[in-house]
Amino acid sequence: MNTLTRRLLAEFIGTMLLVAVVVGSGIAAERLSPGNVGLQLLENSTATVFGLAVLILVFGPVSGAHFNPVVSAADWLAGRRRHTGLTVAELGVYTLGQTAGAVLGAIAANLMFDRAAVQISTHHRLTGGHLLGETIATAGLVMVIFALARSGRAAWSAAAVAAWIGAAYWFTSSTSFANPAVTIGRIFSDTFAGIAPTSAPGFIAAQILGGVIGLALISVLYPGTAEVADDVVVPHPDRDAPLADSRSPR
């Protein structure tokens, strides 16, 4: 199995498991604490924090553990002039793998709790506050990831990224999706963790805007960010010669 295939598989499985954690814990929270939204959010966010940290540790050395098209796009954008980070082709397959994994993760969560495999969420979330929350959560996520890589502390990414997402569950009205692939995946579960299809485009647009803002800020605060694009989210040295030889123009 070549390097790119391994990395794509890592992104696919990692994103699938991340959404399974988010949606599955949301379903469990609804059943364990009916009518208590605060407790449901605590249960959902706690599972997500621990699950995300573990997944970064497991898959980071293979693919960087992006699990997020905005992070992958920021990685490409930051490194395109220095020929670091992802290529255009790699960004495309990462995004496809992440999105497909997210949808499958939601389906798996539904099945684990004996629900219909494919559902369409009716949980509408589209308000100005939600969009601002998604912009801030995503900008902060990108800043955390690139600041750690640029300052040589990428080994802390599992804890720091999970901590940021966990905190943003509580300080944003949107509960911090901060991820277009996860947003699409959560359309397919009509549960506490779902999002209605009509709300998803606004969330994704806010996430993209947040990613651009976060990368712009980190470029000012940490000059030379392009030099460490290969270390996002965590260093993944499994970029061997055959893959390097096959890179497409950026």
Asked if the structure places residue 243 within a domain, the reply is no
The DSSP call for residue 118 is: S
Average pLDDT over residues 82-101: 91
DSSP of 1-24, one letter per residue? --HHHHHHHHHHHHHHHHHHHHHH
- H/E run at residue 127: none
- Is the pLDDT score of 230 beyond 70? no
Asked if the structure places residue 245 within a domain, the reply is no
Mean pLDDT, the chain, integer: 91
CATH number at residue 114: 1.20.1080.10
Q: What's the total number of domains in the chain?
A: 1
Asked if the structure places residue 215 within a domain, the reply is yes
Asked if the structure places residue 244 within a domain, the reply is no
CB atoms within 10 A of CB 239: 15
Whole-number Å distance between alpha carbons of 53 and 50: 5
Question: Which has more confidence, 102 or 240?
Answer: 102
* Greatest alpha-carbon span in the chain: 56
Torsion sign (Cα): 94, 96, 100, 106:
positive
Q: Which residue has the tokens 């540790």?
A: 57
Instruction: Write down the pTM of the prediction.
Output: 0.91
- Residue 152 banded pLDDT, cuts 50, 70, 90: confident
Whole-number Å distance between alpha carbons of 117 and 127: 29
Summarised one tens digit per residue, pLDDT across range 49-78 is: 999 999 999 999 999 999 999 999 999 998
3-state per-residue secondary structure call for 29-87: HHHHCCCCHHHHHHHHHHHHHHHHHHHHHHHHHHHCCCCCHHHHHHHHHHHCCCCCCCC
Summarised one tens digit per residue, pLDDT across range 160-219 is: 999 999 999 999 999 999 999 999 999 999 998 999 999 999 999 999 999 999 999 999
Asked if the structure places residue 17 within a domain, the reply is yes
Average pLDDT over residues 113-127: 95
Asked if the structure places residue 249 within a domain, the reply is no
| Structural domain of 122 | 3-232
Asked if the structure places residue 111 within a domain, the reply is yes
Instruction: Retrieve residue 47's tokens.
Output: 């599972």
Asked if the structure places residue 205 within a domain, the reply is yes
Q: What is the pLDDT of residue 229?
A: 60
- Is the pLDDT score of 240 beyond 50? no
Whole-number Å distance between alpha carbons of 250 and 205: 24
